[in-house]
Amino acid sequence: MPLARTRPVATALPTYALYGEQGRSLGVDWLHIESIAARSRLHDWEIKPHRHDLLFQILYIRSGQVKVSAEGDAWQLRGPCAMTVPALSAHGFAFSRKVDGLVITVLEQHLRDLLAHEQALLAQTLRLRAQALPREAADAIGSAVMALRDEFTAAEPWRGLAIDTALLHLVVLVQRALGQGERNVDDGDRAFEHVRRFRTLVEARFREQVRLSDCASELGITPTQLNRVCHRVLGQSALAVMNARIVLEAQRELAYTTMSVKQIGLGLGFADPAYFTRFFLRETGQSPTTWRQAAQSMRHPSA
């Protein structure tokens, strides 16, 4: 039940990777799992309104209470309950001190890739929803959450495949549960819809060095309007969004492939390797080679 209708959440909300960590990114490691208490305890059990630029979250609460504020609405839930929070959705929480549960944070694009052939499920999943759970559904979701955590923390063969399988199982169970008497929150703001469509377009064409004006044209708005909504929702320009996606892919390929810097640049639409290096240096503060060496040393600290 909603507690109160409040003023729409301010558009200048901070945008975090994980709450309180502005400098961190899940760009390479696309999944994070932790107890709700682990982070909320650091902030006196209150997570102030904010949004995530690239991340989708599932919150599962076994016991305890949470007061949720989301997109100008507020309501209170008691465990067992679950909530899904897509990227860009403004949200905040106030937890009881004895809350017991976990939060699963996923790079939203990875989830989109996994559900690319299940568009109905994807559309339902990428919505801001929360609901108390009947005991049977809560037990099943709790078991799925623990199975995902076990695969995430293990180092068994085919770990990535096992994690994806466990994540998909969890998503299906959560959507089945939330589809019964669902609590749906929709901000109804055209700016958010423009940004979501723009991000989808960038994801599909970031290797083509597409022009900003062409993106705006496909969205049916002007480049000025596109920049305005990106600044409003994301706090950065449309060009910065496009550049960030290119950098993200470059970082992934530097970290996880043996392709040369030149090959990576060519694959991202840079005909001139020197220009790619200058672009990467400008955006990250490091050259591609230096970034790759640092990433490899973090993945293999004893090497």
Strand order in the sheet with 91-95: 2-5, 73-78, 65-70, 91-95, 46-52, 15-16
Distance of CA 110 to the CA centre of its chain: 9
What was the pLDDT predicted at 303?
A: 44
**pLDDT for the residue numbered 2:** 39
The pLDDT tens digits along the chain (303 residues) read: 333 333 333 334 444 455 444 444 444 467 899 999 988 888 888 888 877 878 899 999 999 999 988 766 677 889 999 999 988 877 888 999 999 999 999 998 899 889 988 877 888 888 888 889 999 999 999 999 999 999 998 888 898 899 999 999 999 999 999 875 444 444 446 777 888 889 889 988 999 989 999 999 999 999 999 999 888 777 789 999 899 889 988 988 888 788 999 999 999 999 999 999 999 999 999 999 998 988 777 655 554
Spatial CA neighbour of 48 closest among 95, 84, 81: 95
What pLDDT score does 298 carry? 67
Domains of the chain, each with CATH number or no CATH: 2-185 (2.60.120.280), 202-299 (1.10.10.60)
Residue count (the chain): 303
pLDDT of residue 299: 57
Check: CB of residue 20 under 8 Å from CB of residue 84: no
